[in-house]
Structure formats: C-alpha cells, structure tokens
C-alpha cells in the first residue's frame, strides 16, 4: 500500500496525519520556537516585496506573526474553506497577481507541508481528504467546491486523491476501540459546519466493516458562535443600532453593514466593497460619529484577526468559567466587557435549535430513533462548548457520549481508511 495522508482541511484549523500502510499513524507536527503543535491555523499572509520580488507567502502562526509584526504591507486571508462553495468568490488580487481559490489552497498546503519538514513526494502518496456533509455559506455549490479542491491538490502535486466525509473519518478513528457491533452517531463540530453521520460498524473475523445509515449537517458551528459574541458585545460599540440624519428624518444605519464586518473572514473583501464606501459616506450624517469612526478604523487597520482571536479566546474560557472578561485594545484602552455563560447560551440558543433540527433530519434519513444509537462520538473544537455537549447528553444520555482527540480524530481516521485495501469503498463520488 502507498503511504497515506489523511487531511482535515478546516475552516479555522488544518490537521494532517500520515499512515504507513498499516494501523500506525503519526500526526504531521509543526515547531515554532519552543512550541510544537499538530493543529495548524488555516490562515495565509502575503508580504508585499515589490519592486524587488513577488509577494512572500506564509501560513499558520508564521502568517499571523508576519501580519502583526511586519512594517510592510501584508494581505491576510483566513477561513479559506468558507469560500470553496461560493460562486461569488472568483479570486482576489495579491499585489498585482490574481489568485483564485485553487491557487490559495495549493499555496497553503505546499507551505504547510514545507513548514512541517515533510520530505515525501506528493505524486507518490495517497491523499484522503475530508469533506463536510454540508459546505458552509449561502446557497453553497457542492460540485464547484469539490472541483476547486481537486484543482488545488493537483497544483500541489497530488495525483491519488480520495474524498471521505469528515464525520466518517472521525467514526472510523473511534471504531478502532470497539469490541462489539455498534451503531454510532458522529457529530463533527468544527468552525464552519456541523456534520452528522450515522454508521453501523460490524466485525467479521477481525475485519471491520461499516454500513452508512444516514448523514446530514448544517452550516452552523464555532464561527457562528463567535459572531453571536461580536454581535452582542462588539458591534454596539461600532455603531450598530445607531442612527443618521437624512432629509429631515432619523434613520437606522443599515444592519447589513455590521453583519459584513462581523463575518471577520470576509474583512479583506469588505474593505474594498461598496458597503464600506457607503459606511464612510454615512459618517458625516451619523448621530454617533465616534462609533462609526472606530468602525472605519478597525476595517482600515485590518483588525479582523485580532478581534477574532480575542473573541475566540473568550468563547473558549466560557467552556470552563461562568463569566469572563472580554478586552480588545483597538476599541480603547479602557474597553472591558463582561460575558456570562448564561448570556452566551441565550445568544446561541437559536443556532443550537437549528443544529438539533438538522440532527432530527439525519436520524430520520437513517430510519432511527434516539434509542437506536448505541454511542455518540463528539469531535471538533466546538464540541467543547458546554451548551453543545448538553444538547447531546439530554437527547442520548451522558453514558452514551464519547470524545477524545477532538482535534485530530478526523484526520487520523482518514489516514487509516486510506491504508486499507477497500479504501475506495469508504470514499464518496466527488
């Protein structure tokens, strides 16, 4: 069997695991100074090197450092996966060079493996790629997303490519520990999407087989939860809900302008949009111009990533604390906001309801009731949110809930699947 790489290309983080053709797997690891990690932030940056050369790209923490510390002009791109299924995204200009989705993804992958110090020849390995059950975004085009993925992997030098549903990869990883036939519900709760998969695992003469019973999902996950904090805590400081004067009337500043900013991964696009030009025009008529000025400053100073980082860290701390403090220096040295888990749970309640309805639909497709599920395996960073775990515990009982290796289980399962002789049977027609 060829060497296999399982790739979990995520909205927020990317994980890769290498299998040697058997049951042994090794996560692709990265080293940054004294820090070692296996989950790489899915971000790209390009430092303007003109006129002496082309843009200098970086990935992960090196991209973040380049963006925050460089004295030169830097383009920062994040949540690349969110654009995969969008026909509206036709590429972007990077200092005089146009790059489409495939160029950006291939650049990220090539630099990521280079930063990891891997020495394999892409053409000689099998790449097993996780794909979400439902791609994120408004009216996502699944065929377009997969076509873009294929072109990106080809640009990066890969030839042998299989696509496997992300929750199937997680289920396979978990199934290695099973000692009896089991019906498993996997909930893969990432940054951009929540994916469900119901599978029946059986063992015959030591050979593990699986029958897919149903799958489903929804484009709601951790990034949506981040937005709820931004919407309730940050955006009022930037003028949301405020008004402007026009022709003798007092009108509310259009809420969609704030929604565009709250989608932090779109900040680089928003910065050159007609909506941003409209906001600048409204400044002179605003009844609270200091808030709109702050809004404009944050956009022009590319504060999207620092804001995301601050909000995401706040959300993470709410997983273990009842109340935390959110601070963000660009809003003012004295800005402090208290965020309680009770408020956070209330803000995300409509999202949890939709996630639960998507789960209902998945079980309906599988022809199962809650009682027909033997084990529930939660994976992905958003599975740490207490309200999310409570949703599953209340439906299935805490005794049926399992977890572990939440950030690497998908890639690990993908690599193990790729090492099997029947790997193609686990793949989906893409």
Euclidean distance between CA atoms 212 and 208, whole angstroms? 13
The reply to whether 281 and 356 lie within a common domain is no
The reply to whether 246 and 330 lie within a common domain is yes
Q: Is the pLDDT of residue 265 over 60?
A: no
Residue 68, burial from CB neighbour count under 10 angstroms (0-12, 13-18, 19+): middle
The reply to whether 292 and 364 lie within a common domain is no
Which domain does 309 fall in, by range?
223-346
Q: How confident is the model at residue 268 (pLDDT cuts 50, 70, 90)?
A: low
Segments of 190-301 assigned E as strands? 194-204, 207-218, 243-246, 249-252
Tell me whether residue 194 is in a domain.
yes
Tell me whether residue 34 is in a domain.
no
Task: Specify the pLDDT at position 61.
Answer: 92
Task: Specify the pLDDT at position 261.
Answer: 65
**Lookup result for tokens 């469900």:** 196
Contacts of 245 (CB under 8 A, 6+ apart): 251, 285, 287
Tell me whether residue 280 is in a domain.
yes
The reply to whether 379 and 241 lie within a common domain is no
Instruction: Give the H or E element holding residue 379.
Output: strand 375-379
Residue 233, burial from CB neighbour count under 10 angstroms (0-12, 13-18, 19+): buried
The reply to whether 187 and 292 lie within a common domain is no
Tell how far CA 310 is from the center of its chain: 16
Q: In the listed set 312, 331, 346, which residue is the last one of a domain according to the structure?
A: 346
Tell me whether residue 363 is in a domain.
yes
Euclidean distance between CA atoms 34 and 355, whole angstroms? 39
| Mean pLDDT score, 329-348 | 91
Contacts of 68 (CB under 8 A, 6+ apart): 305, 306
Q: Is the pLDDT of residue 333 over 90?
A: no
Euclidean distance between CA atoms 133 and 358, whole angstroms? 11
Structural contact between residues 43 and 305, judged by C-beta atoms closer than 8 angstroms: yes
The reply to whether 276 and 360 lie within a common domain is no
| Mean pLDDT score, 279-293 | 92
Q: Is the pLDDT of residue 21 over 80?
A: no
Structural contact between residues 26 and 3, judged by C-beta atoms closer than 8 angstroms: no
As a whole number, the mean pLDDT across the chain is 89
Tell me whether residue 4 is in a domain.
no
Task: Kindly report which listed range (6-15, 136-145, 226-235) carries the lowest average pLDDT score.
Answer: 136-145
Structural contact between residues 29 and 152, judged by C-beta atoms closer than 8 angstroms: no
The reply to whether 260 and 341 lie within a common domain is yes
The CATH number that applies at residue 190 is: 3.30.420.40
Task: Specify the pLDDT at position 212.
Answer: 86
Give tens-digit pLDDT for 369-409: 999 999 999 988 899 999 999 999 999 999 999 887 778 88
The reply to whether 235 and 304 lie within a common domain is yes
Instruction: Determine if the pTM surpasses 0.85.
Output: no
The reply to whether 209 and 237 lie within a common domain is no
The reply to whether 252 and 359 lie within a common domain is no
Pairing of strands 97-99, 92-94: antiparallel
Give tens-digit pLDDT for 69-96: 887 888 888 888 988 999 988 888 888 8
Structure tokens at 350: 């409509």
The reply to whether 239 and 329 lie within a common domain is yes
Tell me whether residue 110 is in a domain.
no
Tell me whether residue 80 is in a domain.
no
Q: In the listed set 324, 346, 368, which residue is the last one of a domain according to the structure?
A: 346
Q: How many domains does the chain have?
A: 2
Tell me whether residue 259 is in a domain.
yes
The reply to whether 232 and 310 lie within a common domain is yes
CA dihedral 47, 112, 130, 105 (to 10 degrees): 30
């Amino acid at each position: 069997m060829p060497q296999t790489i399982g790739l979990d290309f995520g909205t927020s983080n990317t994980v890769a695991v290498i299998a040697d053709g058997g049951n042994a797997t090794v996560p692709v690891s990265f080293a940054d100074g004294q820090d070692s990690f296996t989950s790489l932030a899915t971000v790209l940056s390009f430092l303007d090197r003109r006129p002496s050369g082309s843009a200098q790209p970086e990935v992960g923490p090196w991209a973040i450092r380049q963006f925050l510390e460089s004295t030169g002009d830097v383009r920062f791109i994040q949540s690349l996966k969110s654009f995969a299924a969008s026909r509206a995204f036709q590429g972007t200009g990077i200092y005089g060079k146009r790059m489409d989705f495939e160029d950006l993804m291939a650049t990220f992958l090539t630099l990521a493996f280079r930063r990891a110090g891997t020495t394999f020849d892409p053409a000689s390995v099998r790449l097993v790629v996780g794909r979400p059950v439902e791609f994120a975004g408004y009216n996502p085009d699944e065929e377009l997303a997969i076509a873009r993925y294929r072109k990106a992997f080809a640009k990066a030098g890969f030839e042998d490519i299989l696509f496997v549903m992300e929750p199937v990869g997680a289920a396979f990883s978990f199934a290695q520990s099973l000692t009896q036939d089991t019906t498993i519900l996997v909930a893969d709760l990432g940054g951009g999407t929540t994916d469900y998969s119901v599978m029946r695992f059986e063992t015959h003469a030591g050979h593990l087989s699986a029958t897919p019973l149903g799958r489903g999902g929804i484009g709601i996950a951790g990034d949506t939860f981040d937005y709820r904090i931004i919407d309730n805590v940050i955006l009022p400081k930037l003028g949301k809900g405020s008004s402007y004067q026009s022709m003798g009337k007092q009108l509310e500043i259009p809420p969609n302008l704030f929604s565009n900013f709250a989608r932090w991964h779109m900040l680089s696009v928003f910065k050159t949009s007609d909506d941003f030009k409209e906001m600048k025009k409204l400044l002179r008529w605003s009844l609270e111009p200091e808030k709109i000025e702050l809004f404009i400053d944050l956009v022009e100073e590319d504060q999207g990533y620092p804001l995301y980082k601050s909000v995401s860290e706040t959300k993470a701390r709410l997983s273990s604390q009842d109340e935390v403090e959110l601070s963000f220096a660009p809003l003012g040295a004295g800005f402090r906001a208290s965020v309680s888990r009770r408020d956070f749970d209330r803000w995300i309640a409509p999202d949890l309801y939709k996630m639960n309805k998507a789960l209902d639909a998945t079980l309906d497709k599988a022809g199962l009731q809650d009682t027909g599920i033997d084990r529930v395996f939660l994976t992905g960073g958003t599975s740490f949110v207490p309200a999310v775990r409570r949703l599953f515990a209340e439906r299935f009982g805490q005794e049926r809930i399992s977890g572990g290796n939440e950030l690497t289980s998908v890639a690990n399962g993908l690599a193990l699947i790729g090492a099997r002789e029947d790997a193609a049977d686990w793949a989906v027609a893409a």
